[in-house]
Amino acid sequence: MANLNIDSVKDRTFDAIVIGSGMSGGWAAKEFTDKGLKTLVLERGRDVKHLKDYPTTNLYPWEFPHHGVLPDDVQKANPIVNRCYAFGEDAAHFFVKDAEHPYVQEKPFDWIRGYQTGGKSLLWARQTQRWSDFDFEGPARDGFAVDWPIRYADIAPWYSYVEKFAGISGNRDGIPELPDGEFLPAFPLNAVETFFSNHVKKTYKNRHVISARCAHLSKPNQIHLDQGRGQCQERTLCQRGCPFGGYFSANSSTIPWALKSGHCTLRPHSVVESIIYDEKKGKATGVRVIDANTKEAIEYYANVIFVNAAALNSNLILLNSTSGRFPNGLGNDSGTLGKYVAFHNYSAHINAEYDGAKEWTTDGRNPAGGGYIPRFRNVYKQETNFLRGYAAGFSAYRWQQNSSDGIGQDLKNNLVKKDLSGWHVGSHMMGETIPKETNYVALDKSLKDPWGIPQLKISVDYDDNDEKMKKDYVEQMTEMFTSAGFTNIKASTDHRAPGLDIHEMGGVRMGNDPKTSMLDKWHRLHACKNVYVTDGASMTSTSCQNPSLTYMAFTARAVDHAIGEMKKGNV
Ligand SMILES: Cc1cc2nc3c(=O)[nH]c(=O)nc-3n(C[C@H](O)[C@H](O)[C@H](O)COP(=O)(O)OP(=O)(O)OC[C@H]3O[C@@H](n4cnc5c(N)ncnc54)[C@H](O)[C@@H]3O)c2cc1C
Ligand code: SF4
């Protein structure tokens, strides 16, 4: 019996444990296993294998039972996730349903999740921009958060590293506030997007409309073919899972790569309840898991633990990892764990029409989504009554229209006679929000989830800075649209709850001072050096770029550091 036990502990012991198999966890798995380390990836959801588990990927519109629209009862049962634009009949199976994974909204918060191998990397819109020093230096310059312990030079080589493997399309635009990367060819702007881009370049200093940079294989390199991925066919059905591996997801790229190494064990249906801290050793020794199906508790052990459960779940796991040494959550000597949560403000839009370029159509599709307007407010100097700034999407499109007038043969003729609409243009705001102590997550004292783990209580809201920024976006974009000759301009703001941007960040922030932050410059807990957090939880501030590329680069850099520490015998 004793021997069996020892064997069992041996079987459950690894060099590294990675919690979460999504965008960032996939990178941790790949990097550890590339270096030959025996790695356990714990994933709370089901396993979703590339190709095999994309049930809708090749369906025609008429093959969906409800023509792509979810039935009323499903929408009503899921008011939160139903607000996400990608929650349709073709991809609903990749989203967490509201009732299955409850949480407490002290203030309204739309928490959008994907619990499966690959996490939300199956569902993302693939927009990928680097940060610059204007972002890393922001908190210190504007005095709204602790200083980042790193700068662009620390992360630049790691951006290059992950971009080459993931495959990012884009142009080298030479904009200092949006550094160029290792790009595959960009998806070009269409006629009206190009017109607006040229107009903005001529009319404004330091404003740009560029081709969106995105994680699509516009022209694959050998490293992508080696992953079994192929060229993007521009179907724009990506949220279903791509049969070509045309966009980057953990499912098509990092996870199968790690599994192929022979050093990776992926355990789905494994809800990490907490991290085990050994007071005598002064370090973490493993994790406690609840099997999602049997509800059995199991422990796994490793020298180093990477927490990649996505920002708010990583907070939850640390908050729930209490011990005599850390009664308020693992590594929480500063008392900042769960605090300074921030997100992106997407609550302003603008639409208009353009009465020109009628000779041009929009044949084909653009999986990058059109154009991107990098942040232009408060970059080189403080010029507004709010802190920081916003980026914006921009796209122009025509659609096919037909008339349903008439009856009988007239109606049939009208329905098959397709005509193109005039040009429409649209933009949405992507604003930075300021991390505040009062925007926090905590464990609910009484409510538990179906696995006996305390539910997460979320208390996050907008502030006056966000309102001023929204107003400025509407004013600036209205002016830019007007000067370009766009007509019928309609700007709108909404009162959406935070969360729908799906860029929640913070709670386990990085910083130089252990008294005011949780993580050091290598993403290690200041107070528990063999636990690394490299997802959105680690973000000291949010900037306004889409964040996932930065999580990937952070993760690859942190694994490199962890392996160095292991070699030195420090962990
Ligand atoms: C519709 C949509 C569009 C988006 N568009 C963009 C975009 O254009 N650009 C961009 O940068 N970002 C975008 N995002 C956000 C992007 O998907 C996330 O930033 C990214 O996936 C976060 O990576 P992650 O590794 O932190 O989390 P995830 O990819 O969500 O992975 C976390 C994994 O951890 C698992 N997990 C959670 N808790 C536990 C636990 N206790 N035990 C074990 N496993 C656990 C989850 O099941 C999941 O698989 C979008 C998201 C959505 C849904
Ligand atoms: S647009 Fe490209 S990545 Fe998306 S589903 Fe189509 S082929 Fe795949």
Render 149-168 in DSSP notation, one character per residue.
S--HHHHHHHHHHHHHHH-E
Residue type, 331: G
Nearest CA to ligand 2 atom 5: 238
> Which of these, 480, 484, 486, lies nearest to 429 by C-alpha position?
480
Cα 367 to averaged position of ligand 2 atoms, centre (Å): 7
Tens of pLDDT, residues 335-349: 999 999 999 999 999
Cα 366 to averaged position of ligand 2 atoms, centre (Å): 10
234 lines ligand 2 (CB under 6 A): yes
What's residue 1's pLDDT?
Answer: 42
Cα 232 to averaged position of ligand 2 atoms, centre (Å): 5
Contact between 503 and 423 (Cβ < 8 Å): no
Cα 420 to averaged position of ligand 1 atoms, centre (Å): 38
Strands 348-354 and 487-493: antiparallel
Q: CA-CA distance, 155 to 557, in Å (whole number)?
A: 8
Nearest CA to ligand 2 atom 6: 235
Contact between 414 and 405 (Cβ < 8 Å): yes
Q: CA-CA distance, 553 to 565, in Å (whole number)?
A: 19
466: tokens are 């966000």
Atom of ligand 1 nearest to the CA of 95: 53
What's residue 253's pLDDT?
Answer: 98
242 lines ligand 2 (CB under 6 A): yes
Cα 6 to averaged position of ligand 2 atoms, centre (Å): 48
Atom of ligand 2 nearest to the CA of 236: 1
335: tokens are 């008392």
Place of tokens 């493997």: 165
Residues 6 or more apart whose CB falls under 8 angstroms from that of 132 comprise 152, 176, 177, 178, 179
What's residue 235's pLDDT?
Answer: 86
Nearest CA to ligand 1 atom 24: 310
Candidates 127, 218, 231, 234: which one to mutate for ligand 2, based on the most atoms within 8 Å of Cβ? 234
Report which secondary-structure segment, H or E, holds 169: strand 168-169
Residue type, 70: L
Contact between 368 and 187 (Cβ < 8 Å): yes
65: tokens are 């039972």
Contact between 458 and 111 (Cβ < 8 Å): yes
Burial (CB count <10 Å: 0-12, 13-18, 19+), residue 97: middle
Q: CA-CA distance, 541 to 506, in Å (whole number)?
A: 7
Phi-psi map region of 228: left, alpha, beta (phi>0 left; psi -120 to 50 alpha): left
Which residues does ligand 1 sit against, CB inside 6 Å?
Answer: 19-25, 42-45, 84, 86, 112, 114-116, 119-121, 123-127, 270-272, 308-310, 313, 317, 502, 535-536, 546-548, 551
Ligand located closest to 216 CA: 2
pTM of the complete model: 0.97
Residues of the chain where predicted confidence (pLDDT) is lower than 70? 1-6, 363
Residues composing the chain: 571
Place of tokens 């409850």: 102
Ligand located closest to 456 CA: 1
Contact between 124 and 23 (Cβ < 8 Å): yes
Q: CA-CA distance, 232 to 245, in Å (whole number)?
A: 8
Ligand located closest to 241 CA: 2
